[in-house]
Structure 1
Amino acid sequence: MIKNIIFDWSGVIKDSVEDHLFAVNKVFQFFGVRQMSLKELKEEWIQPHMMFYNKYLPALSSKQQTVVYKKAIMERVPKAYQNIAVLIKELQANNIKMVVISSDLVETITSELVIFGLNGVFLEVISNVHDKVESVKSLINKYNFNKTETVIIGDTNHEIEVGKLVGISTVAVTWGFTSETRLALNSPNFIIHNLRELKNLLIV
């Protein structure tokens, strides 16, 4: 039975795939790299995110990337995936403990929690995380999560890899930044295609 959930934010809760593509291409444009299509991005995106950028811009620093990406992403109007907030509140009503660990900027997540109607729903929201391994370990210990009752939900290779490293179940959703084919290569415990499947998995 699942009692604890570690959520990623963008690509899982926040419907930001097009926004992300826009911002990535702004980074590429600024530093003189050919822009990508959405299909290309879904096949090439990896996390921690500097692994992706340094494939194309080996000398690019995290600080340089953040300056351009932040300016671009702040131009976009944030939105949540349809009905995801309803499901999260249903999970809360079922006494499931939830946290968020994201590489997103603290400025964007703070406002988006309010916009999406999710402020105060999560035990904790950690942002600006490049590599999630230590943050996940820390939260599991802080809240005394039983690993057999805990899942991590993400849309990239990184959440799957982190879940395996810390010993919790992994749930990969296909509506985010990574294609289902590439998610499957990382062998998550579950691949989820829509909210109905996610609800059936999380709520017994």
Structure 2
Amino acid sequence: MSLSLKNIIFDWSGVINDNQVTTFRVINKMFQHFGVPTISHEEFRREWEQPFMLFYHKYLPDLDLAEEIRAYNHIYPEIKKDFPPTPYPGIVGLIKSCLNQAKVLYIVSSDYRPHLLGEVEDFGLKDAFNEIVASIHDKQAALRNLVINNKLAPGQTIFIGDTAHEIDVGKKAGIKTAGVTWGIHTEERLKRAQPHYLAHNLSELEAVILDH
């Protein structure tokens, strides 16, 4: 399969950064911090929503965004000492193959920008991305603005995410979408969002975004 894609927009966590378990542990630590019961990994994947405050308000209805950000940014560095971020196996090579084919790469992520930039450098991808948009709560406006400001042709542009929200905002931005099943949302949830493409492994993602 070759779509002659030129512009590849990645979500970070759950797509490039294989940190699903880390995120789950951070959230349970936050729940302990705020005095609510922890949840199972299965419940985490089932209940996760974006924008992420939709998820937190299921358990902490009075939590505000600023308080969530403070707690998350305090707890995340502690958890990642024991569960350090690692790239999804083979994804760094795929990104470099994209660059070899003159693809233009971007990131749109809710991750805290200083954490994300450090991980980008740790993964050896410091100069891989044309633009990194991070520290955002709702990706819809951020993705639309990225497409408009960079004059990206919709037919040559794809957003790759691991949640239904990313599929939804990609379609609303008028671009192609691909869901990957190794992130937070299950294959069933991704299918309900009806992405243009669904990748169960790196080979399937490569078949979508690389020219052959």
After TM superposition, is the score higher than 0.5? yes
1:26–1:69 Cα contact (<8 Å) kept: no
Report whether the alignment pairs 1:83 with 2:90: yes
* Amino acid across the alignment from 1:122: F
1:23–1:73 Cα contact (<8 Å) kept: yes
Shift of residue 117, structure 1, vs aligned partner: 0.4
Partner-residue secondary structure (3-state), 1:103: coil
Partner-residue secondary structure (3-state), 1:74: helix
Report whether the alignment pairs 1:130 with 2:129: no
Q: Which runs of structure 2 are paired with 1:181-200 in the superposition (5 Å)?
A: 181-200=188-207
- What is the CA–CA distance in structure 1 between the aligned matches of 2:185 and 2:54, rounded to whole Å? 15
Q: Which runs of structure 2 are paired with 1:1-204 in the superposition (5 Å)?
A: 1-75=4-78, 76=80, 77-204=84-211
How many residue pairs get aligned? The number is: 204
1:22–1:72 Cα contact (<8 Å) kept: no
Query: Structure 1 length normalisation: TM-score?
Result: 0.97
- What is the CA–CA distance in structure 2 between the aligned matches of 1:110 and 1:163, rounded to whole Å? 23
Shift of residue 141, structure 1, vs aligned partner: 1.7
* Amino acid across the alignment from 2:139: K
* Amino acid across the alignment from 2:40: S
Shift of residue 194, structure 1, vs aligned partner: 0.5
- What is the CA–CA distance in structure 2 between the aligned matches of 1:143 and 1:39, rounded to whole Å? 38
Considering only aligned residues, what root-mean-square deviation do their CA atoms show, in Å?
0.9
Partner-residue secondary structure (3-state), 2:159: strand
* Amino acid across the alignment from 2:102: N
* Amino acid across the alignment from 1:86: G
1:157–1:183 Cα contact (<8 Å) kept: yes
* Amino acid across the alignment from 2:202: L
Partner-residue secondary structure (3-state), 1:99: strand
Query: Structure 2 length normalisation: TM-score?
Result: 0.93
**Residue by residue, what CA displacement relative to the aligned partner does 1:123-178 show, whole Å, maximum 9, x if unpaired?**
00111011111111111122211001111000011111101111111100000011
- What is the CA–CA distance in structure 2 between the aligned matches of 1:88 and 1:36, rounded to whole Å? 34
* Amino acid across the alignment from 1:6: I
* Amino acid across the alignment from 1:48: P
- What is the CA–CA distance in structure 2 between the aligned matches of 1:95 and 1:38, rounded to whole Å? 39
State the 4+ residue runs in structure 1 displaced beyond 2 angstroms.
none
Deviates more, 1:67-76 or 1:12-21: 67-76
